[in-house]
């Protein structure tokens, strides 16, 4: 599990255990007349039929890697064996498996154990850190394997029953039950472009990459993170929604080596209570547009500063993370319907979302050869690069990738990841502006969100 950020759930469930078959719509989706059990017979209903269908497609993952370390006293390089235990889900009968990025990150050998105890080696087809989703291909598959259907219709409701299937603590496949505690959780600190399903189904370390399934036995999410003070289940867990999972799987199966996420080219702030009152809204809802990228999809669609985006394709938007998620699950060049409140009137704009402009390639970085910044490897920020580094696509400046040991740039205290914003009060937008920077110059940098200004002696 992602113990640095999270930890999930406590066993619960109550009277909802006995969902009867007559509460399903004809197409297999829960009907609107969801009901709780009304008698003792309903309370005794079993999840076994759902588990029988879903469990064979959930696998255990054991991964090994080698980490380079240095002796703390003598500085002699060495190697240390690392390992990871997690879960995964077979989504295609030819052995395509979905798991979490953090389960396989940095690992060289991946072993997958099926429900029937067969073992396969696996290779990574696509690893997407942004969504914490990785796609594996099992080697040597000669028959059709059981799969879970990815249900990305987003018809779930808070209170719906769910099952979490995975490999907690490496003990073997385990099933826990619970409900959907919340939907569209974007303020979790897990990702700036994630919108998570929250559940109280018990999830523990080792469940990462496992399945969150509904009562139709469909995959509605990949269990990813837990909030916990102890490192074990505390009843608050998060799953990556099926829409994001499908986006990564489709990219991998289509031959892509990375997920290309489009953007709308707008930046905004969540509507506060004060803003809601000033706009005459009955509640705080929406995203106030504060910046529009010139010539971007939003600008071409007619969005402008001060607009309040309330929905994308009918899905409510309440913050930047929600907007990023909704747009990011679409394919580049798709058209989205943007619901906007402007001057007290609601209107719908059509925007064709596009890949972020610029290049995320870091191989073109330049090493500063002269001046007090000599030895710094630098690259001018653009939306694609900033986004790939987990930053703000609207950010400007020049980012420092690496600083050569013993170089002047290191002696003045610059570090990899610093973003140089200005020199002597002038904004920096190009690498050339950092050549021949002399002593006595005043630099302003952004270091992990903290602004630092100082004069170089």
Supply the residues annotated as catalytic.
102, 132, 208
> Cα–Cα distance between 194 and 239 in angstroms, integer?
10
> Cα–Cα distance between 91 and 89 in angstroms, integer?
6
DSSP per-residue letters across 49-109: HHHHHHGGGEEEEEEEEEEEEE-TTT--EEEEEEEEEEEEEEEETTTEEEEEHHHHTT-SE
Q: 173 φ, ψ to 5°? A: -60, 130
> Cα–Cα distance between 433 and 443 in angstroms, integer?
12
DSSP at 30? B
Cβ proximity of 144 and 156 under 8 Å: no
Cβ proximity of 109 and 84 under 8 Å: no
Q: 367 φ, ψ to 5°? A: -95, 120
> Cα–Cα distance between 431 and 401 in angstroms, integer?
12
> Cα–Cα distance between 325 and 319 in angstroms, integer?
10
3-state secondary structure of 227: coil
């Amino acid at each position: 599990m992602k113990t640095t950020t999270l930890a999930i759930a406590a066993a619960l469930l109550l009277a909802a255990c006995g969902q009867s078959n007559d509460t399903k719509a004809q197409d297999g989706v829960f009907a609107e007349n969801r009901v709780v059990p009304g008698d003792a017979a309903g309370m005794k209903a079993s999840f076994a039929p759902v588990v029988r269908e879903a469990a064979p497609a959930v696998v255990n993952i054991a991964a090994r890697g080698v980490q380079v370390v240095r002796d703390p006293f003598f500085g002699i390089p060495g190697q240390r064996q690392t390992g990871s235990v997690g879960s995964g889900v077979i989504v295609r009968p030819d052995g395509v498996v979905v798991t979490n990025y953090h389960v396989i990150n940095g690992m060289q050998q991946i072993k997958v154990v099926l429900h029937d105890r067969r073992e396969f080696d696996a290779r990574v087809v696509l690893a997407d850190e942004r969504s914490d989703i990785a796609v594996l291909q099992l080697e040597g598959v000669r028959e059709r394997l059981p799969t879970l259907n990815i249900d990305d219709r987003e018809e779930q409701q808070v209170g719906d029953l769910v099952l979490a299937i995975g490999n907690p603590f490496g003990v073997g496949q385990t099933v826990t039950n619970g409900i959907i505690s919340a939907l569209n959780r974007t303020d979790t600190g897990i990702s700036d472009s994630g919108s998570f399903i929250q559940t109280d189904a018990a999830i523990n370390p080792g469940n990462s990459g496992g399945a969150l399934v509904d009562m139709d036995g469909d995959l509605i999410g990949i269990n990813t993170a837990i909030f916990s003070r102890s490192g074990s289940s505390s009843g608050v867990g998060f799953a990556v929604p099926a829409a994001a999972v499908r986006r990564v799987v489709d990219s991998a199966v289509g031959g892509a080596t990375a997920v290309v996420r489009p953007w709308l080219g707008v930046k905004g702030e969540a509507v506060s209570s004060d803003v809601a009152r000033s706009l005459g809204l009955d509640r705080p809802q929406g995203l106030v547009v504060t910046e529009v990228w010139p010539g971007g999809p939003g600008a071409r669609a007619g969005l402008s500063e001060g607009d309040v985006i309330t929905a994308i394709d009918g899905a409510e938007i309440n913050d930047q993370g929600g907007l990023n998620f909704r747009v990011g699950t679409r394919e580049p060049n798709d058209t989205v319907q943007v619901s906007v409140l402007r001057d007290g009137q609601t209107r719908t704009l059509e925007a064709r979302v596009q890949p972020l402009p610029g290049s995320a390639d870091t191989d073109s970085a330049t090493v500063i050869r002269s001046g007090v910044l000599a030895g710094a490897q630098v690259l001018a920020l653009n939306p694609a690069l900033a986004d790939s580094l987990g930053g703000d696509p609207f950010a400007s400046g020049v980012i420092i990738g690496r600083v050569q040991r013993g170089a002047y740039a290191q002696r003045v205290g610059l570090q990899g990841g610093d973003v140089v914003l200005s020199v002597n009060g002038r904004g920096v937008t190009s690498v050339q502006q950092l050549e021949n920077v002399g002593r006595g110059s005043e630099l302003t940098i952004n270091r992990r969100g903290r602004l630092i200004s100082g004069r170089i002696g």
